[in-house]
Amino acid sequence: MIHVRAARLTDAELIYTPSQIALASLSLSSPALAAQWASSKNVDCAFSLPSTIENIKTLITQTGQTPQVESVREVDRRLKLCKNPEKVVGSKAYLAKKAEEERKAEQKRNRKAEDSKRVIEDEDPFGVELAKDGGSVLDDDDDD
C-alpha cells in the first residue's frame, strides 16, 4: 500500500497502465509473490515486462517522496492567482455575474408576461387571420 501511494506522487499514472503499476508495487513489497502472480497469469517475462516493471520501481523509489508542506503551500498560493474570479463564490466578479444573469432572467420574464398580456388583450384566441376571413370558407352548418 505504501508503494501504491508513492506511485500516485509520480508520473507513473501518465506513462504506465494501472496493472503495471500494481505489479511493480507488489514487486517492491514482495518480489516472490509478484513473480508467482505473473507466472500464474502466463505473462511473458522474457519480452518487455521486466524492464517496464523495473522502470516503474525506479520511478516509485526515486521520485515518489511526499513533497514538503511549504512547497505545497507555495503551489496553492500560485493556483489561487490562476482561478477565474467569476467562479469564486463571494468575489465581486462572481456577484456581478450573478446580478447580470438575474437581470437577463428578469427581462426575459417581463417580455414573456408582456407577450401573454398582449395575446389576452387581443380578445380573439384564434388570431386575427381567422377573424378577418369571417369563417366563410369553413361553413359546417347543416342548415341547407
Domain ranges of the chain: 2-66, 81-134
At residue 137, the pLDDT reads 54
pLDDT band, residue 104 (cuts 50/70/90): very high
**Residue 45, pLDDT above cutoff 90:** no
At residue 99, the pLDDT reads 93
For residue 62, what are the CA distances in angstroms to 9, 54, 89? 11, 12, 40
pLDDT (average), residues 83-93: 85
Q: How many Å apart are CA 126 and CA 1, to the nearest integer?
A: 74
**Residue 66 or 28, more confident:** 28
With a CB cutoff of 8 Å and minimum separation 6, the contacts of 20 are 52, 53, 56
At residue 62, the pLDDT reads 86
pLDDT band, residue 44 (cuts 50/70/90): low
Using DSSP's 3-state secondary structure scheme, residue 69 falls into helix
At residue 30, the pLDDT reads 86
